[in-house]
């Protein structure tokens, strides 16, 4: 039941391209999610709610309503029989190979950390930021999970900011950038920091950072306009790929 609810919410984040970065935003997203799939206060039973949640998720993978019960039974076998057997049984409910791989990938995730971080068509404007770390941190996920998931951060506009961060950066790209970061435009930013734009990455991240456009930075106390570091060695687990080299 918990697996089903998490799966549905995780896929909703993918579908709506949300970026839950705080408790208020996360709670708001959960509420929006349940409204979106039609769960209301009338659905007081966990059985009713969980069925509607899972049915909405499976519909994203083109599982017909008539096959819903069969798919639930198969999903419940995860961890009990080999994954190859799960795949064979899911094929019998008319899922494509791609849909099966995506569905099982999400079902196998352990936390929202594996899904979070990407955004598209986003603006950060007219802010005054004081931080002990990077003022604006642009990310797209960690290591092998995000490489496989493949959701980029893109079409990001940052403008009219005043940023104070004495030891780090005004805009940091990474180090969790395995889904890729592209088309970032930063304009009219007043800087009181160690660096203007900082690219952070490391072996195992994969992904890319490209098409970064900067204009009209006012630099007060700054050591480097651009700063790039490729020695970030933290990883979610031991499954990261040492051959996954970022492209900058």
Q: Residue by residue, what is the 3-state secondary structure of 123-165?
A: EEEEEEEECCCCCEEECCECHHHHHHHCCCEEEEEEEEEEEEE
Q: How far is CA 58 from CA 212, 228, 232, 233, in A?
A: 37, 42, 37, 37
Q: What share of the chain is helix, strand, coil (3-state, %, to 5)?
A: 35, 35, 35
Nearest in space to 138 (alpha carbons), one of 165, 157, 125: 157
Residue with tokens 């995730």, as numbered in its chain: 109
d(CA 40, CA 194): 49
Rg of the Cα atoms in the chain? 21
CA atoms of 136 and 19, how far apart (whole Å): 14
CA nearest neighbour of 129 among 179, 90, 164: 164
Q: Find out whether 213 and 182 touch, Cβ atoms under 8 Å.
A: no
Measured distance CA(27)–CA(119) in Å, rounded: 18
209 contact partners, CB below 8 Å, separation of at least 6: 173, 174, 177, 180, 181, 182, 199, 201, 246, 247, 248
Positions annotated as catalytic residues are 133
């Amino acid at each position: 039941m918990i697996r089903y609810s998490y799966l549905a919410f995780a896929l909703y984040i993918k579908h709506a391209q949300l970026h839950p970065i705080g408790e208020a935003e996360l709670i708001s997203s959960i509420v929006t999610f349940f409204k979106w799939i039609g769960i209301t206060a009338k659905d007081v039973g966990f059985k009713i709610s969980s069925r509607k949640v899972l049915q909405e998720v499976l519909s994203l993978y083109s599982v017909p309503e008539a096959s819903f019960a069969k798919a639930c039974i198969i999903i419940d076998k995860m961890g009990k029989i080999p994954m190859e057997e799960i795949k064979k049984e899911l094929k019998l409910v008319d899922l494509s190979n791609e849909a099966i791989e995506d569905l099982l990938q999400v079902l196998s995730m352990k936390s929202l950390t594996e899904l979070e971080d990407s955004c598209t068509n986003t603006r950060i404007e007219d802010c005054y930021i004081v931080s002990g770390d990077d003022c604006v941190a642009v990310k797209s996920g960690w290591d092998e999970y995000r490489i496989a998931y493949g959701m980029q951060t893109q079409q990001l506009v940052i403008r009219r900011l005043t940023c104070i961060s004495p030891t780090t950066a005004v805009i940091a790209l990474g180090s969790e950038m395995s889904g890729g970061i592209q088309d970032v435009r930063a304009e009219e930013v007043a800087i009181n920091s160690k660096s203007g734009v900082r690219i952070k990455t490391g072996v195992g991240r994969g992904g890319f950072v490209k098409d970064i456009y900067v204009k009209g930075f006012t630099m007060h106390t700054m050591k480097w306009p651009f700063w790039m570091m490729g020695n970030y060695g933290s990883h979610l687990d031991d499954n990261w790929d040492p051959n996954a080299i970022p492209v900058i």
